[in-house]
Amino acid sequence: MLNRRTLMTSSLAAFTLAGTACSAPSNPSGTEPRSMLLADGYEPSSLNPLLGYARFGAAKFYDGLLAFDGNGELHPALAVERPTPDEEARTWTVRLRRGVAFHDGAPFDAHDVVATYRAAVDPAYASTISSDLSMLDEVEAVDDHTVRFRLNIPYAAWPARMVMGIMPRSALSDPVPQDRSPLNTEPVGTGPYRLTEWRQGERMIWKANEDYWGDAPAVDKITVVFATDDNTRAQRVQAGEFDGTVLPPRLAERVGTAPYRTIHHDTADYRAITLPNDQPVTGDPAVRKALNLAVNRSGMVESLLGGHGTPAYTPIPESMGRYHEPEARFDFDQQRARRILDEAGWRTGADGVRRKDGTEARFTVMYFADDTLRKQFAQAFSSDAGKVGFRVELAGVQRSEAAERIGSDAIVLGGGSPLDPDIQMYTGLHSSMIGTGTYKNPAKYRNSRVDSALDAGRRTVETAERASHYKEAQRAYVADPGLVYLAFIQHSYVVRDGVWNGYEPVIEPHTHGTTWGPWWNVEDWTPAN
């Protein structure tokens, strides 16, 4: 059988990490041989791909047609080769791998792919990812091992939409809302692991799929314990209970000492402040430019992230390589910010707050009340904005309240995916996204140059030409910004050292934890001894 490990294209050097091994000295966490005990601060609400589970890949229970290689490229998974489009990038034909079976033993073929994608866009299934696939017009089975996608627009980023987990057509035979689907808690995919137990609020157990098309994983069993409190997870790691966990960077550094090590991953995961463009203060272009100059991004990275991140000026991080425009940036220059505001008629009052035509330079920034890091970014932004004459009030809110107020109040926004620059930029900045979803262009940003460049990037298949369009979009954005991008945050992990080979660094999306992290390719790990 073809070994999946031979398909990985990353040339990054691997090094040894631990789970557990067969002998007592190599099994300090007390778990079973060839198993791992991990801790996660986040528990998914559903394991259904149509409800957003593993939308950017790394789904242990499912395979997509393509998979992320960890370093900015996509490689075949259930597809036998990376698909190529027609000249207009509107028709994509995909040849499928043979000899693959679902966890229930049913054979995988083209009809499962068709059923999955049709359900994703059919309102009867109430899929939460339907808007991600709005460009899909039709999908058909050419034969049992070939699928053809027809799109309603030229869309060069379509391969990035092929990482979605494929579900068995038998589970989608009834067109009912997916919140009723058994797959939410009992996933049936083709992936390297099966879910054998889920005690919600407590733990999950994954068991290696012995019939996996890429060979059964050597890590036979993974138990994931859910512990939402960061300090609790850190204390249990220090007690030797876990083989690994996700932690905030500074906390990870403190507890990641022998026999553990700390790992930091670059990401496309940004934090930004939205500036509603139809409000009297944040809608002023001079205000938006001044705020981008007023914030000390490097200071935030050092003080809030312990240096484990990079300043952000646009949605495209340096880790996205060819698509990053290094000239698209803002200097930290509060003196210039004050001049811009003075020239635009925003005059400082006796109380230190600016006013223009009777309007006070005041607005509210929301953050999720249960997210300490977003609160800290909000506080740092408020402090820097105050130094140039703004009164920024902070509000810790629940997600439901944030959704109601996001059109009028600013919010600390988080998100990002390294799979394609279209995913990273279009939804957040293209004017056509206004009003199409709560977190789709929530700032109501409009910029014709940005729109044109993003549209051209979608239509262009050739990589170098695509990159030029996205660089133009970034340059056009910084000339007239609509948000204040603050930082790309690194994701930090603590892992037990010394038993398993096969770890490779990965550029992560906003989503992280035990399906990503050091374990994003755990199905490819092998024993170190």
Task: Note the pLDDT tens digit of each residue in 477-491.
Answer: 999 999 999 999 999
Dist CA 501 CA 244 (whole Å): 15
* Contact call for residues 101 and 211 (beta carbons, < 8 A): yes
Q: What is the pLDDT of residue 29?
A: 52
Tens digit of each residue's pLDDT (9 = 90 or more) over 498-524: 888 999 999 999 988 899 999 999 999
Is 502 found in the same domain as 416?
Answer: no
Q: Are residues 117 and 163 in the same domain?
A: yes
The per-residue pLDDT of the chain, averaged, comes to 92
313 with 170, same domain?
Answer: no
pLDDT reported for residue 27: 44
Quick one: 306 and 371 in the same domain?
A: yes
Predicted confidence (pLDDT) at residue 28 exceeds the cutoff of 70: no
pLDDT for residue 25 is more than 60: no
The verdict on 363 and 392 lying in the same domain is yes
pLDDT for 528: 84
Between the alpha carbon of residue 250 and those of residues 79, 256, 454, 490, the distances in Å are 41, 10, 37, 11
Q: Do 16 and 156 share a domain, yes or no?
A: no
CA distance 98 to 107: 9
CATH number at residue 519: 3.40.190.10
What is the band of 70 on the pLDDT scale with cuts at 50, 70, 90? confident
- Is the domain of 302 the same as that of 238? no
- Do 301 and 444 share a domain, yes or no? yes
The pTM (predicted TM-score) of the whole model is 0.91
Claim to verify: residue 370 and residue 404 sit in the same structural domain:
yes
Number of domains in the chain: 3
* Domain limit, last residue, from 148, 163, 191: 191
Q: Which residues pair with residue 223 across a beta bridge?
A: 37, 205
Handedness of CA 282, 287, 292, 295 (dihedral sign): negative
Is the same domain home to 285 and 372? yes
One-letter identity of residue 505: P
Nearest-angstrom CA–CA distance, 363 and 374: 17
pLDDT of 77: 97
Whichever domain contains 423, its CATH number is: 3.10.105.10
Q: Which of 56-60, 147-151, 189-193, 414-418 has the lowest mean pLDDT?
A: 56-60
Please tell me whether residues 211 and 111 are part of one structural domain.
no
Look at residue 65 in the predicted model and tell me its pLDDT. Answer: 98
Q: Which domain holds residue 355?
A: 270-489
Domain with residue 85: its CATH number is: 3.90.76.10
Residues 437 and 516 in one domain: no
Least confident of 4-13, 124-133, 139-148, 263-272: 4-13
Among 139, 168, 191, give the residue marking a domain's end: 191
Specify the pLDDT at position 71: 81
pLDDT band at 5 (very low <50, low <70, confident <90, very high): very low
pLDDT value at position 344? 98
Which of 191, 223, 239 delimits the end of a domain? Answer: 191
